[in-house]
Amino acid sequence: MSQPAYHIRPNKAVDRLTLIDAIRLVVKPRELSDYTYYSMGGPTLEDFRLIYEFYPEIKMVCIEQDPEIYKRQRFHLPCRFHRLKLERTSLKSFLAQYEAKDQKSIFWLDYTNLELGHFDDFMGLLGKVGTNSIVKITLSCDPRDYKKPEQTEDFRRKFETLLPNTSDPPPSRVDKLALLMQEMVQIASQKALPSAMPLMFLPLSSFYYSDGAGIFTLTGVVCRRVEEKDFRKAFKNWRFANLNWNEPRQINVPSLSTKERLYLQRYLPCGRNAGRTLRRALGYLTDENLKQTEIRLQQYADFHRYFPYFIKAIP
């Protein structure tokens, strides 16, 4: 399935910037240097570029097995090697050797498919990271993968230990499938950190989106149970917070020209019925019909602070 280049996927770009916000709410400025950010990075190291731009104090480690992608990463380094270390190894091997040693971490387990081993990685990591570490997991969430009866049966068999109801087939709607993915992550987190333990995994945000393929992503923090109320207070006024395992929020930003975005800026932020307000301000439809136009413009109102600009330039 053809997808946009890794670094110019608009919905994923929004997702990256919500992580930047979550870090700001979890980590006190004086503690940034205590953290290390771990991720797979992709060829252009886009998430590492953002981490370095917003939080240059955070140390960074990129994990990559493919030798050619590793070479591209060396070319795209956003900073010197002593700030960003490139590890040429598989994620599974890296996680097997990883030891927190009381240090705080930010992990993004950014998978492009859905395998039971991904949940095993997640569960093992929750038991290793230091207190107040952030863990984000991203999984494939595409109902088109489960159209055939044999695909449905394989899904049930493979994930039976994480399914809330093993008799139900995978949902045919992406929002319901994303909710099921979240329930599976919740079950995995509770297996890794059961209620008898002093630490817990508190969800902070969850989203689903598509930039060519369906994606579900959830960010949470490993914290002491006695400190849960402090994190709830910190995220109380963040509009994208999901602290109670509620339904994931969709990211589906519209395709707007730079001129349209600059024009709409004067109306933002706006209150109720933002989609209608912005559609009336433009005076025309930007999608296939009025309803879809207002839905997508509502998305723009919600995420406009996170919406990237992709600009054509002549080198």
Looking at the chain, list the stretches that DSSP marks H as alpha helix, in order from N- to C-terminal side.
Answer: 10-26, 46-54, 67-75, 91-97, 116-126, 149-158, 174-192, 228-234, 258-264, 274-282, 290-303
Quick one: which of 11, 21, 8, 9 has its CA closest to 253? Answer: 11
Mean pLDDT by 10 residues, the chain (315 residues): 55 94 96 96 92 95 95 89 90 94 93 96 97 97 94 95 93 96 98 97 97 92 97 96 98 92 92 92 95 95 83 59
- Give the pLDDT of residue 203: 98
Mark whether 122 and 236 lie in a shared domain: yes
Mark whether 166 and 265 lie in a shared domain: no
- Give the pLDDT of residue 313: 55
pLDDT in tens, 283-293: 999 999 999 99
Mark whether 168 and 99 lie in a shared domain: yes
- Give the pLDDT of residue 311: 62
- Give the pLDDT of residue 8: 58
Q: Do 242 and 249 contact (CB within 8 A), yes or no?
A: yes
CATH number of residue 49's parent domain: 3.40.50.150
Mark whether 281 and 238 lie in a shared domain: no
Mark whether 83 and 138 lie in a shared domain: yes
How far apart CA 130 and CA 143 sit, in angstroms, is 35
Mark whether 119 and 205 lie in a shared domain: yes
Mark whether 244 and 202 lie in a shared domain: yes
pLDDT in tens, 216-238: 999 999 999 999 999 999 999 99
- Give the pLDDT of residue 3: 47
Mark whether 22 and 146 lie in a shared domain: yes
- Give the pLDDT of residue 2: 46
Max Cα distance, the chain (Å): 59
- Give the pLDDT of residue 7: 46
Enter the pTM of the model.
0.91
96 within a domain of the structure (yes/no): yes
Question: The domain containing residue 264 runs over which residues?
Answer: 258-303
